[in-house]
């Protein structure tokens, strides 16, 4: 059945070029950490900018007649300059033939930049904060079969000029190359190096002063840590595969093998312990765990993405309400994560005795010993985890949930990161199915992507596209209020109305 977005005219690509570093570096292999290898796919953002020719001349805004060709050439020259310092971004992922692990081959193969046009006006897209399938046409998606890593560029960009004179810049960066903060620094450097800006702001100069550090030595040392707990952590990924396989078979031996794994010991990282327990729970209770990629893709295509706008005043009221009886204060993230977890779990209609889990990303740059250097450009996030019975989660107050979230966050230290990295160790990553019992949250509020000035003003809006894990909830800074939060979450249609009802009721308390 045709979607409502198919009424839009197609996006026409007029130019596709490879972009190489201005300064060529000697080729070398950059060893990746286990955190880099978790998700070797492109993560996409689409930046929207109003017609730059309508902006007034106020000292830094351009009033020149910018053509698509001049914008494209400016982005290209800026990317050439940026790749000179961020040279791994011009490389390719490569499988080590000895252990099957991914590393980064810094071979100067370059990025890809595309020029495109559309007759659509940005105003035709409606509320830009609500995900729109048309956004998928505003990024360049290279052909990739999941295995041919040497052919896959790590950075791709597409500049599209709309019928109204506005622009979008859709950018994909490999998650094996960058996490959120390092992607933010890379894109800020690219914007600062592009000649579209007639005058750089102090923020841009600050980004230029940050020298990226590409070496993963500290995390590689942690990843080589040998546990004395008796658990063979290198087999945890295969254990997850075994749980999934056992859950999808009906023979008695496999049903017996699954619960045995729980008794083999804990790895010390709660996120991985809890994930294994959720998979075991789903298998032993007759759950249908979809290890087949075809089944997963069917579910993936069904997800609906909804954004909720939470003003700064509303968030402050929520924090006061949660702690009206006194005690410590909490962050916006903690209170919103508590409300979302409770609302989503209730919307799933789970058994009260079922184990449910909230997992959220924690930046470890200052949590490992020694701390990662300023400008570290790789992945430095691990997942923290809270687990409760569904009935208990529904019963306890939000204050108690916030306290558990804070405890989980505080538990992430050097030893936790060591255990986590062991837990995700392996020649490849397991393909995890979507679990109704698992709520995932990623906090982007400290990465205001809309402030990245590819033109002479900040973006009207920046939208992430569908992520590899579609049910994840993003907390994003609102472009018009830096203390407000936009919450975007992916849900299956059967759960959408219930979640909206419970979540809106929670924030209206």
The predicted-structure confidence for 367-382, as pLDDT tens digits, reads as follows: 999 999 999 999 999 9
Tell me what pLDDT residue 323 has.
83
Name the residue with higher pLDDT: 423 or 342: 342
Q: What is the DSSP letter of 275?
A: H
pLDDT at residue 146 in the model: 74
State the pLDDT at residue 2. 43
Model confidence at 221, in pLDDT bands (50, 70, 90)?
Answer: confident
Q: Specify the higher pLDDT residue, 209 or 165.
A: 165
Tell me the pLDDT tens digit for each residue of 109-149. 999 999 999 999 999 999 999 999 999 999 999 988 777 89
- Cα–Cα distance, 114 to 72 (Å, whole number): 8
Chain-centroid distance of CA 346 in Å reads 25
CATH class of the domain comprising 233-507: alpha beta
- In this structure, what are the phi and psi dihedrals at residue 244, rounded to the nearest 5 degrees? -65, -45
Check if the beta carbon of residue 32 is closer than 8 Å to that of residue 103: yes
- What was the pLDDT predicted at 329? 79
CA angle 150, 470, 254 (to 5 degrees): 85
pLDDT at 62: 44
Q: CB–CB of 169/125 below 8 Å? A: no
Q: What is the pLDDT of residue 263?
A: 34
Q: pLDDT digits over 468-509, tens only?
A: 899 999 999 999 998 999 999 999 999 999 999 999 999 987
pTM metric for this prediction: 0.88
- Residue 17 φ then ψ, to 5°: -130, 155
- Proportion of the chain above pLDDT 70, given as a percent: 79
Residue with tokens 């060591």: 418
Mean pLDDT of all residues in 352-357: 97
**pLDDT at res. 292:** 35
pLDDT value, residue 324: 79
DSSP string for 196-233: T-SS--HHHHHHHH---B---HHHHHHHT---SSS--G
Upstream peptide bond of 370 is cis (omega within 30 degrees of 0): yes
Task: Report percent pLDDT > 90 for the chain.
Answer: 66
- Which tokens sit at 87? 């040279």
Q: What is the pLDDT of residues 255-313, one digit of tens each?
A: 323 333 333 445 579 999 999 999 899 887 655 554 433 444 445 568 999 999 999 99
pLDDT value at position 245?
Answer: 57
Q: Residue 55's pLDDT is what?
A: 54
The pLDDT of residue 65: 63
Task: Output the pLDDT for position 294.
Answer: 41
Residue 243, pLDDT > 70, answer no
pLDDT of 257: 35
Average pLDDT of the chain to the nearest whole number: 84
| Cα 452 off chain centre by | 18
Q: Do the Cβ atoms of 95 and 149 come closer than 8 Å?
A: yes
Cβ-Cβ contacts under 8 Å for 140 (sequence gap 6 or more): 16, 112, 114, 156, 157, 158, 170, 172
Domain 4-211 matching CATH 3.30.559.10: the answer reads yes
Task: Place 198 in a pLDDT band, splitting at 50, 70 and 90.
Answer: low
pLDDT at 429: 56
The set of catalytic residues is 175
Instruction: Give the pairing of strands 111-117 and 102-106.
Output: unpaired
Position 96 scores a pLDDT of 87
Q: Which residue has the higher pLDDT, 2 or 445?
A: 445
Q: Quick count: other Cβ atoms within 10 Å of Cβ 303?
A: 17
pLDDT at site 98:
86
Sequence ranges of the chain with CATH classification 3.30.559.10? 4-211, 233-507
Give 504 or 222, the one with higher predicted confidence.
504
Those residues whose C-beta lies under 8 Å from the C-beta of residue 432, and which sit 6 or more positions away, are 240, 275
Sign of CA dihedral 267, 270, 275, 279: positive
More confident residue, 49 or 424: 49
Give burial (CB, 10 Å; 0-12/13-18/19+) of 457. Answer: middle
CA dist., res. 119 & res. 10, Å (int) = 8
DSSP string, 266-299: --S-HHHHHHHHHHHHHHHTT-----SHHHHHHH
257's enclosing H/E stretch is helix 252-260
- Edge to edge, what strands does the sheet with 461-464 contain? 12-19, 111-117, 155-161, 167-174, 42-49, 461-464
Joined tokens for residue 376: 């570290």
Residue 11 dihedral angles phi and psi, to the nearest 5°: -90, 125
Work out the pLDDT band at 246, boundaries 50, 70, 90. low
Structure confidence at residue 348 (pLDDT): 96
Which pairing describes strands 155-161 and 167-174: parallel, antiparallel, or unpaired? antiparallel
Describe the strand order of the beta sheet including 481-491 as a list of residue ranges. Answer: 304-310, 481-491, 473-478, 438-443, 355-363, 381-389
Token pair belonging to 482: 């830096």
- Give pLDDT, residue 408: 97
> What is the model's pLDDT at position 298?
47
Of the pLDDT bands very low, low, confident and very high (cuts 50, 70, 90), residue 233 is very low
Better pLDDT: 205 or 23: 23
For residue 66, is pLDDT > 50? yes
pLDDT digits (tens, 9 = 90+) for 438-453: 999 999 999 999 999 9
The mean pLDDT of 196-212, rounded to a whole number, is 57
- pLDDT number for residue 252: 36
């Amino acid at each position: 059945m045709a979607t409502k977005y198919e009424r839009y005219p197609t996006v026409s690509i007029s130019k596709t070029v490879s972009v190489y570093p201005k300064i060529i570096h000697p080729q070398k292999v950059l060893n990746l950490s286990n955190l880099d290898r978790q998700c070797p796919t492109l993560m996409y953002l689409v930046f929207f900018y109003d017609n730059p020719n309508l902006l007034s001349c106020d000292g830094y805004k351009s009033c020149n007649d910018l053509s698509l060709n001049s914008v494209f050439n400016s982005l290209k020259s800026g990317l050439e300059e940026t790749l000179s310092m961020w040279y791994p971004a011009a490389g390719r992922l490569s499988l080590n033939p000895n252990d099957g692990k991914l590393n980064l081959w810094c071979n100067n193969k370059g990025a890809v930049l595309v020029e495109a046009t559309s007759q659509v006006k940005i105003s035709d897209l409606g509320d830009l904060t609500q995900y729109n399938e048309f956004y998928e046409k505003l990024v360049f998606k290279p052909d990739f079969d999941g295995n041919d890593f040497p052919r896959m560029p790590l950075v791709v960009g597409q500049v599209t000029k709309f019928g109204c004179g506005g622009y979008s810049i859709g950018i994909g960066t490999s998650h094996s190359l960058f996490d959120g903060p390092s992607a933010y620094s890379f894109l800020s450097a690219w914007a600062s190096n592009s000649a579209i800006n007639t005058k750089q702001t102090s923020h841009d100069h600050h980004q230029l002063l940050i020298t990226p550090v590409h070496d993963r030595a500290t995390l590689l040392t942690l990843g080589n840590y040998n546990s004395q707990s008796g658990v063979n952590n290198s087999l945890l990924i295969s254990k997850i595969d075994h749980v999934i396989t056992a859950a999808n078979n009906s023979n008695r031996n496999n049903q017996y093998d699954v619960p045995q794994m729980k008794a083999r010991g804990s790895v010390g990282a709660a996120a991985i312990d809890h994930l294994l327990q959720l998979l075991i729970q789903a298998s032993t209770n007759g759950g249908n765990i979809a290890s087949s990629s075809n089944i997963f893709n069917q579910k993936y295509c069904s997800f609906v993405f909804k954004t909720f706008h939470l003003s700064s005043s509303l968030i402050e009221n929520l924090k006061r309400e949660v702690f009206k009886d006194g005690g410590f204060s909490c962050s916006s993230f903690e209170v919103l994560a508590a409300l979302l977890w409770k609302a989503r779990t209730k919307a799933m209609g789970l058994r009260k005795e079922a184990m449910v889990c909230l997992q959220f990303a924690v930046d470890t740059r200052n949590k490992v010993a020694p701390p990662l250097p300023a400008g570290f450009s790789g992945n430095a996030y691990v997942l923290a985890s809270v687990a409760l019975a569904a009935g208990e989660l529904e019963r306890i107050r939000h204050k108690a949930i916030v306290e558990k979230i804070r405890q989980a966050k505080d538990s992430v230290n050097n030893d936790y990161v060591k255990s986590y990295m062991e837990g995700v160790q392996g020649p490849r990553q397991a393909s995890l199915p979507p679990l109704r019992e698992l709520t995932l949250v990623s906090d982007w509020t400290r990465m205001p992507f809309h402030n990245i000035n590819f033109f002479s003003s900040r973006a009207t809006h920046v939208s992430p596209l569908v992520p590899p894990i579609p049910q994840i909830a993003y907390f994003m800074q609102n472009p018009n209020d830096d203390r407000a939060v936009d919450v975007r979450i992916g849900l299956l249609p059967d759960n959408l109305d219930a979640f909206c009802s419970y979540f809106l009721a929670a924030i209206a308390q």
